[in-house]
Structure 1
Amino acid sequence: MNMKAIDDLSWDDVRLVRLVAESAGLAGAASLLGVDPSTVYRRLGALEKHLGCTLFERHRTGYVPTAIGEELVALADGFESGILEFGRRLKGKAIDITGEVRVATADSLLAHLLTPVFARFQASHPGIRLDVVIGNLPLNLSRRDADVAIRATDNPPDTLVGRRIGTLAWALYGQPPLSLAVADGSANWVTLGDEMASLNVVRWAHEEVPPERRVYRANSVLALASAVEAGIGVGHLPCFIGDQCRALVRLSDPVSAFSAGLWLLTHADLKQSPRIRLFMDFVAAELNRLRPLMEGDAFRLPAAHDGPEDLISPQA
């Protein structure tokens, strides 16, 4: 047998051999393939010549596979059996992708947006474990600090690949009595610290709010939101946080200059991993459904509800 020719063997070749063996001849195989017997004869002859061996003994009663022919028939049977089993499992949604996905994100995104999404993912895919890494600084996915990053940014690293899910809008929030104080300039303000000075919202506060009115600084958005909710002062918050807090009212329209894109990112080497693709597709679909909340177009109903899925668009 020509061993190099085995590398060029295709499924069509193996299937042809099996059909000829099952039909014990060319006519039956040709009927199953929907071609003329002469076509089967030419293909079988070409295959035997290519392999350098005889696959069938020609008898008056029909075609009988040689030992090598029988091996090819067994190979075809095993392959088809595997394909059928795969189809049955797929139809029954019984394909289990397992393993761990390490996800890096910010505390505010996790607490106010992502945790319910992650819970629904694990309910649908219990074989996948999530390892969530919290941090407000970008991680280096090329060093495998995480498999997936969910970040608010307008400039994702060139070393990562992924998709932009939507826009995170920011607006001014405070407890209801503070709206008049904002108007007359007497309100106290809560701002982000200098560690986050690259954000437009931080630069704006430094330029527009008098120092004596900046009474409280925090180095995370989650801490900022807690301070505003506690009534320490007014502050700009992402709408997905402020609009879900019943203690706060929105005191301004979303400020376009403060908005940022929400990105779902991974390393190029990981993008074809089944569990990474499964996780990213699921999260992208869930977050797309929550875009009105992220983009400041959704408000919580007056009645008590359990999560972001209960938010509706405001009525005109």
Structure 2
Amino acid sequence: MDWNDLKYFLEVARGGSLTRAADVLRVSQSTVSRRIAELEARLSTRLFARHQTGYHLTDEGRELLGRAEAVEDNMLAFERGASGLSPGVSGLVRLATSDNLASDLVIPALPRFVARHPQLRLEIVTTTAAVELGRRDADLALRLVRPSHGNLKARRLGAMSYGVYGHRDYLARHPAPADDPLAGRAMITWDEAHAHLPAAQWLAKRAPEAHVVLAVSTLRAQIAAARAGLGLAIIPDFLVTDPDLVRVLAPGDVFSDGVWLVLHADLAASSRVRAVADFLAETVDAARAALAGEA
């Protein structure tokens, strides 16, 4: 059996639709449909029940799912091991990180890295959700939370501090008592889908009764809202470049996150992954003071 057939089966089983599987596999929906039909014909077994709500595993499909995932784990382990055999720094490396770390930290430093390794292609996946390094959604990650499970290697590169900021005009229009600079002021924060993020959790604990004037799904939108004078926002200190954004709490009164470099243990010997890991470590080290709010 072709290993690629199992990829189509697994992605449809996980996503429940041809559309999601096609997006992940970067093929057309018709290709996914055809490959699933061919697999079912080859096995003489219907793996999915087709409904208006999507593709649902049949009893036979559920029986084969665990076995297909075991094959996937073995194939990915083989690929990770093979990637470490090439001595040259070339090929594709997928990096997962947040949008702000990618745009404001990693990408500005990329020109010198590209000049150093012209045969290497970097693909950056920006998301606030944790990606599955084990399933090769990415080869390595730059995260603000240390992973707690998986065959992963994690290295703390530094720390990123946060502050509560407001536009100076907004602060002048909404004075607050000296003992609580948040009192009586509106807050800009993450939407419900991102309530698990450290900034959202800090606000829920520090000011549970705060008046939230705006909830959004990106940090850039929060910064834009604070600059527009809508209220206060919790922002990484190194992203604040507008002199009209004023910190209202002392550094020790907010919080900081560790900046973690994470990669799958099987990829530690890969020359191309090691090259990206070294580049990230150098980049974070060069920005250490700014990330910690000391610059």
State the TM-score, normalizing by the size of structure 1.
Answer: 0.58
User: Aligned pair count?
Assistant: 203
Q: Render the CA deviation track for 1:109-138: whole Å, top value 9, x for unaligned.
A: 112222112233112222111111111100
Q: How does 1:173-192 map to 2 (within 5 A)?
A: 173-180=165-172, 181=174, 183-184=176-177, 185-192=183-190
Question: Residues 57-104 of structure 1, C-alpha deviation per residue, up to 9 Å, x if partnerless?
Answer: xxxxxxxxxxxxxxxxxxxxxxxxxxxxxxxxxxxxxx9621111111
- Unpaired runs of 5+ residues, structure 2, are 1-86, 178-182
Name the residue aligned to 2:28: none
Query: Alignment RMSD, CA only?
Result: 2.3
Candidates 132, 139, 147, aligned match of 1:147: 139
The 5 Å alignment of 1:58-69 reads none
Q: Which runs of 5+ in 1 are unaligned?
A: 1-94, 299-316
Partner residue in 2 for 1:104: 96
- Whether the 8 Å contact between 2:146 and 2:154 is mirrored in structure 1 is no
**2:275 paired with 1:278:** yes
Cα distance between partner residues in 2 of 1:107 and 1:296? 19
Distance apart, 1:205 and its partner CA: 2.5
Partner of 1:186, secondary structure, is coil
Larger radius of gyration: 1
Partner of 1:40: none
Match of 1:227 in 2: 225
Residue 241 (structure 1) shift: 1.1
Q: Conserved in 1, the CA contact under 8 Å of 2:88 and 2:272?
A: no
Q: 2:164–2:254: 8 Å Cα contact kept in structure 1?
A: no
Identity of matched residues, %: 33
Secondary structure of 2:176's partner?
helix
Q: Which residue of 2 aligns with 1:201?
A: 199
Shift in alpha-carbon separation, 1:247–1:97, aligned structure 2, 3 A: same
Query: What do the CA deviations read for 1:194-236 (whole angstroms, capped 9, x no partner)?
Result: 2233344323423554757210011232322222223221111
CA contact (8 A) 2:134 2:150 kept: no
Tell me if the contact between 1:171 and 1:255 (Cα under 8 Å) persists in the aligned partners. no
Q: CA deviation at 1:161?
A: 0.8
Distance 2:111 2:176 in 1: 42
Aligned mate of 2:287, from 279, 282, 290 = 290
Residue of structure 2 equivalent to 1:213:
211
Instruction: Point out which structure has higher relative CO (alpha carbons under 8 A, 6+ apart).
Output: 2
Q: 2:223 is matched by which residue type in structure 1?
A: A
Matched residue SS, 1:169:
strand
